[in-house]
Amino acid sequence: MESFQSYINLNRERFIAELQDFCRQPSIAAQNVGMREMAKKVMERLERLGASARLIEVQNGAPVVYGEIGSGARTLMIYNHYDVQPPEPLDEWTSPPWDAAIRGGKLFARGVADNKANLLCRIQAMEAYRVAIGELPVKIKFVLEGEEEIGSIHLPQFVAENRALLADADGCLWEAGYKDINDRPVLACGLKGIVYVELHARGAQRDLHSSQAAIVENPAWRLTWALATLKNADDHITIDDYQLHVRAPTQAEMDALKTIPYDEAKIKQNLGIKSFIGKRNGIDLLKKFLYEPTCTICGLYSGYIGEGSKTVMPNHAFAKIDFRLVPNLAPDLVLDLLKKHLARRGFDDIEVVLTETGEETARSPLDSAIVRAAIDAARAVYRKEPVVYPTMAGSGPMYPLCQALGIPAVSAGVGWHDSRAHAPDESVRIADYFEGMEFVKELMERFAKN
Amino acid sequence: MESFQSYINLNRERFIAELQDFCRQPSIAAQNVGMREMAKKVMERLERLGASARLIEVQNGAPVVYGEIGSGARTLMIYNHYDVQPPEPLDEWTSPPWDAAIRGGKLFARGVADNKANLLCRIQAMEAYRVAIGELPVKIKFVLEGEEEIGSIHLPQFVAENRALLADADGCLWEAGYKDINDRPVLACGLKGIVYVELHARGAQRDLHSSQAAIVENPAWRLTWALATLKNADDHITIDDYQLHVRAPTQAEMDALKTIPYDEAKIKQNLGIKSFIGKRNGIDLLKKFLYEPTCTICGLYSGYIGEGSKTVMPNHAFAKIDFRLVPNLAPDLVLDLLKKHLARRGFDDIEVVLTETGEETARSPLDSAIVRAAIDAARAVYRKEPVVYPTMAGSGPMYPLCQALGIPAVSAGVGWHDSRAHAPDESVRIADYFEGMEFVKELMERFAKN
C-alpha cells in the first residue's frame, strides 16, 4: 500500500500532465472532431501500461480501443469512453474548454469528468499497481468506446461482432461516479434508457416578411403546438398510451431509495433554484428522479435569434428532445408512440428524426460480486458509507455491453457533486482524481477474492 | 417627357452604380451597424440633387435626413428609411447581401427593396426632372429616417420636436410599393400597427445534464407551454380579452376588398405552400390578411442547436414575437393584455421585454388628393389599373408622422411580387426601378394640380 501511494506521489506531476494532454485533444463525437486522434492517444497509453491494445473498427463508427492486461480467475471489464460532449456555449466557460486549466485544486475541461479523468485514472492506477505491487490480481478487459455521447450507436454492432472477447467477463466497472454534496462516494448499478430525436416543422419555401403570417402557416407555431401536447405543466408526459408502459418501481426498488441521502437544500442552492418540479421532496423526489421517464427539450430553434428585432416569419423550426426511459419503455416503442401521437393530432407534417438509435434501460443485481466489491472498496478508501443507486438518472450502453451478456456492472468514478458534465466549466477535483486510484486498486483486489 | 426619359437613359449606368453604392453600405438598425455612414451618404446625395439637406438628431437615435427642394402651392412629404433588416441567415443568399450583385435583370441586396431603391429612385427622378423639365412643381420635404426596421422608435420624438417643419405638408408619398403577381401596381393607404416583444424563461443558474430534467424545471418547456396559450391551432389569438378589442372592418372596408385581385394559385405556388391558413380563400382570405391582427413567432431559441445530439437541459429559452395590430388594438394595450394573460396562468416568471416602443395603426382616406394623384399617375405610367389596398399587412410609422398631423399618405414603389423583403435574396427588378422614376414625375405633376 505504501509503495503504491509513494509511486503515485512521485509521478503526480506526470499523471496530471497526461490528463491535461487527454483533455486538450478535442474528441467531439457529435461533430466528428478529433475522434481518431484521441483513439490513438488512448491506445498508446494502454501500450505504455503494458497492455495488449488495439483499435477495433466498427463500420462507419469511431473505433473501440480494446486492451487486455493482468491475470487471475476473475475477469473485470473496464468500460469508459474517450468522446466528449460539444463544448458550446463557449462564452460561458471561465477558461476555454480545451485549455485544461487548473484553478483552486480543480482541472477544468470539456470531458474531464465525463469521461477522460475516469478513463486515465484507471490506467494510471494499474501502472502504479504493477510497479509497486506486481501483476494485476484480475484479468482486465478494457472496452473504451468513442460514441457514448451520441448514444453508443455502433456499440451493439461491436458487441455482436466481438461477443467471444467480452462474454467471459465476471463483472464490469462502469465509466463514472462522483462524490455527493456531502462527499459520500456514489455507486450506481443501472442506467435509464434514452431516445434522442429532432422534430422538424417546415413552412413556405423561404423565410417571409412577418406580415405574411396572417395567412401563411408558421412552422414555429406548429412546432410549439405539437410540443405542448407531449408534456403538461405538471411535468407529466402526455403522449398517448405512454404512461401505460411505465413499469412502476417494485417494493425493493422503493426501499432502496430510503438509503440514498439527498441534501435537497444544498442541491437547490447549488443549482440556483427555489424548488424542484412540483415542489417535490423526500422519497417522492427521488422516485421521480430515478424511476420516472423524462421528455426534455435540449434545443429549440427557429428564425432570427440575433440582437434586436427582425420581423421575419421563419420557414423552419426544430426541437431536439431526449427521452430518458425506465423499464418496459423500449426506444423503438417510444418512437412509435410519439409518431402515432403526433399523427393523431394532425401533426404528421412534423418530421421526427431519430438522431441516435436509442438505448435500453439496464439494472444490475445489488448483491452481485462486482457491486459488493465496489461497496467494500469505497468504504475502505473513502472512509464513508457509499451511496448505492439502483439506477442513475443518466444513460449509457450498459444494456448491450453488460446486461445482455449477463455481466453485472457497477459505476464509480472521480467526479464531485458539481462536476458539470455536459455543461460549461466541467471539472474534477485533483484530490478526488488521485484518491480514485486507490479505489481502483482496492476494487481489483476485492473483486479477485470475493 | 421625352427629354426626361432621355436624361434617365443617358445616366442609366451611373444611377445603377449609385444604387449599388447605397446597397453596399450596411445600415442595420437592429445591430447599430453603419447607420451614420449611411445617413451621411443619403444627405450628400440630397445635396447633389440641389436640396437643402441636414441631419436632424434625436437623442439616442439614428439621425433623420431632412431635406427640402422645389416650390409650388402644395407640399409633398417624401418618407423613406435608410436602415435595413439584419441579413441573416447568410447561407441562404445566392450572392452575399452586401454585394448588390445584378443577375437576370435584378439587383440583389439586403435592403434594396426595403427601402433603398425607393429612396434613391425618388431622388434620381427629381434630378432628371430638374435637368430635363425645370423646377419641381411641388415643394418637397424629405423625411428619411434610420430606424424603421426597429419600429421607428425615435420618430414620434422627432415629430414632436420638429412639428412646425412637417405639419404643413398636404400629402405624403410613403416608403414603398410593388407590382403584384400579375404586374399590377399596388398602392396602399394604411398600415397595421405593431408591437415586438421577447419572452424569456429562465431556469437553473447554468445548463445542466439532461438527466436532471426529471426534477428541475426546464425553461424551454415553460416557454413552450406559455406560447401555446397565446394562439391556438386555428390561428386564433387566445390572449385573454384580446378579441374584445379587435374592431371589425366596416362595410366600406369590406367593399374595398372586392377590388383587390389576389391570385391565390400563383401566390401559393410562389411560396411553395399547399394552402393558406385554415384553407381560406377569396374575401375571407383578404379579410384575414389585411384586417385581422397577428401574433407571430419570429425567433425561438434554447439550448443546443448545433449538429448532432447534446443531452443538455438549457437554463434559458426565449422567443421573439411580433404582433401586427388593427384599429383599437393599441401597442400599450396589447402589452398589458399579454402580461396579464401570462400572470393569470402562473407564467409571471416569464419576462416580457419590449424591444420596440410599438406603432399605432394608420389608415388614410381613399378620396384624399394624394391618393387620387397616385392612382392617376399609376394608371398613366403602368397602363394597368392600380390595386388600392386600404391598408397593408405590414407596419410603419404612418400614424405619428402623418395621421396624427392630419396628412394623408399613400405608399407606392418599385418592388415586385417576389422582392423578398426581410428575407434572403431580396431584390428589385432594374426595369421597375427606372419605371418608378416616371411614376414620381407623374405623381408630382398631378398632385401639384388636383
CATH code for position B378: 3.40.630.10
Q: With cut-offs at 50, 70 and 90, classify the pLDDT of residue B435.
A: very high
Interchain proximity A288–B215, CB inside 8 Å: yes
| Overall average pLDDT of the B391-413 stretch | 96
With an 8 Å Cβ cutoff, is A425 touching chain B?
yes
Is A315 a member of any domain? yes
C-alpha distance from B174 to closest chain A C-alpha (Å)? 17
Is B140 a member of any domain? yes
Q: Which of B449, B334, B427 is nearest to B106 (CA)?
A: B427
Cβ atoms within 10 Å, residue B450: 11
B147 and B200 fall within a common domain: no
The residue of chain B nearest to residue A318, with distances taken between CA atoms, is B305
Compute the mean pLDDT over every residue in chain B, rounded to the nearest whole number: 95
> For residues A281 and A267, is the Cβ–Cβ distance under 8 A?
no
What pLDDT, on the 0 to 100 scale, is given for residue A181?
87
CA angle A295, A301, A306 (to 5 degrees): 140
Q: Which amino acid is at B384?
A: K
B181 and B51 fall within a common domain: yes
Cβ atoms within 10 Å, residue A333: 16
Angle, helices A117-132/A12-24, rounded to nearest 10 degrees? 150
Grid coordinates standing for A357? 438509435
Is A66 a member of any domain? yes
Q: What is the pTM of this model?
A: 0.84
Q: Rounded distance, CA A389 to CA A189, Å?
A: 6
B404 and B438 fall within a common domain: yes
Q: Strand A362-363 and strand A190-191: pairing?
A: antiparallel
Q: Rounded distance, CA B242 to CA B292, Å?
A: 12
In chain A, residues with a C-beta closer than 8 Å to the C-beta of B301 are 300-301, 305
Question: Residue written as cell 443619403?
Answer: B42
Phi, psi angle pair for A427, to nearest 5°: -155, 160
What pLDDT, on the 0 to 100 scale, is given for residue A100?
98
Please report which residue ranges of B100-153 form alpha helices under DSSP H: 117-132
The residue of chain B nearest to residue A234, with distances taken between CA atoms, is B217
B112 and B171 fall within a common domain: yes
Is A275 a member of any domain? no
Is A258 a member of any domain? no
What pLDDT, on the 0 to 100 scale, is given for residue B2?
64
B329 and B371 fall within a common domain: no
Is B137 a member of any domain? yes
Please report, for residues B81, B82, B379, the alpha-carbon distance to residue B174 in angstroms, rounded to integers and kept in the order given: 10, 13, 18
C-alpha distance from A387 to closest chain B C-alpha (Å)? 18
With an 8 Å Cβ cutoff, is A391 touching chain B?
no
* Percent of chain B surpassing pLDDT 90: 91
The residue with greater pLDDT, B9 or B366, is: B9
Interchain proximity B309–A212, CB inside 8 Å: no
B217 and B328 fall within a common domain: yes
Residue A72 in 3-state DSSP? coil
B38 and B179 fall within a common domain: yes
The residue of chain B nearest to residue A217, with distances taken between CA atoms, is B277
* Percent of chain B surpassing pLDDT 70: 99
The residue range of the domain holding B381 is: 2-192+361-449
Between residues 96 and 135 of chain A, which touch chain B (CB distance below 8 Å)?
Answer: none
Q: Which of B313, B314, B338, B316 is nearest to B325 (CA)?
A: B338
In chain A, residues with a C-beta closer than 8 Å to the C-beta of B290 are 214
Interchain proximity B422–A203, CB inside 8 Å: no
pLDDT, tens digit (0-9, with 9 covering 90-100), for A200-233: 999 999 999 899 999 999 999 999 999 999 999 9
Question: Residue written as cell 400599450?
Answer: B332
pLDDT, tens digit (0-9, with 9 covering 90-100), for B175-225: 999 999 889 999 999 999 999 999 999 999 999 989 999 999 999 999 999
Grid coordinates standing for B357? 416602443
B227 and B298 fall within a common domain: yes
Q: Rounded distance, CA A347 to CA A350, Å?
A: 6
What pLDDT, on the 0 to 100 scale, is given for residue B310?
85
Q: With cut-offs at 50, 70 and 90, classify the pLDDT of residue A354.
A: very high
With an 8 Å Cβ cutoff, is B302 touching chain A?
yes
Interface test with chain A among B215, B232, B395, by most A beta carbons within 10 Å:
B215
Phi, psi angle pair for B137, to nearest 5°: -80, -5
The residue of chain A nearest to residue B86, with distances taken between CA atoms, is A310
pLDDT for A1 beyond 60: no
Q: With cut-offs at 50, 70 and 90, classify the pLDDT of residue A357.
A: confident
pLDDT, tens digit (0-9, with 9 covering 90-100), for B307-363: 888 889 999 999 999 999 999 999 999 999 999 999 999 999 999 999 877 899 999
With an 8 Å Cβ cutoff, is B207 touching chain A?
yes
Q: Which of B437, B368, B431, B434 is nearest to B402 (CA)?
A: B368
Q: What is the CATH number of the domain that holds B219?
A: 3.30.70.360
Total domain count for chain B? 2
Q: Strand B75-81 and strand B171-174: pairing?
A: parallel
C-alpha distance from B262 to closest chain A C-alpha (Å)? 13
pLDDT for B1 beyond 70: no
Interchain proximity A355–B309, CB inside 8 Å: yes
Q: Could you give the count of Cα atoms lying within 13 Å of B252 in the half-sphere of its Cβ?
A: 6
Q: What is the DSSP code string of A229-242?
A: TTB-TTS-B-STTT
With an 8 Å Cβ cutoff, is B350 touching chain A?
no
Grid coordinates standing for B302? 434554447
Is B277 a member of any domain? no
Interface test with chain B among A309, A350, A392, A416, by most B beta carbons within 10 Å:
A309
A429 and A323 fall within a common domain: no
The residue with greater pLDDT, B432 or B30, is: B432
pLDDT, tens digit (0-9, with 9 covering 90-100), for A392-447: 999 999 999 999 999 999 999 999 999 999 899 999 999 999 999 999 999 999 99
Cβ atoms within 10 Å, residue B320: 28
Q: Rounded distance, CA A26 to CA A112, Å?
A: 11
With an 8 Å Cβ cutoff, is A204 touching chain B?
yes
What pLDDT, on the 0 to 100 scale, is given for residue A2?
64
List for chain A the helix, strand, coil content (%; round to 5). 40, 20, 40
In chain B, residues with a C-beta closer than 8 Å to the C-beta of A394 are 209, 211
Single out the residue in A321, A354, A387 at which a domain terminates: A354
What pLDDT, on the 0 to 100 scale, is given for residue A356?
74
Single out the residue in A354, A371, A386 at which a domain terminates: A354
C-alpha distance from B189 to closest chain A C-alpha (Å)? 16
> For residues B294 and B324, is the Cβ–Cβ distance under 8 A?
yes
With an 8 Å Cβ cutoff, is B248 touching chain A?
no
> For residues B253 and B291, is the Cβ–Cβ distance under 8 A?
yes
B337 and B309 fall within a common domain: yes
Cis amide linkage into residue A89, ω under 30° from 0:
yes
Closest by Cβ to A310, choosing from B85, B194, B312: B85
What ipTM, to 2 d.p.?
0.84
> For residues A308 and B355, is the Cβ–Cβ distance under 8 A?
yes
> For residues A39 and A62, is the Cβ–Cβ distance under 8 A?
yes
In chain B, residues with a C-beta closer than 8 Å to the C-beta of A324 are 210-211, 213-214
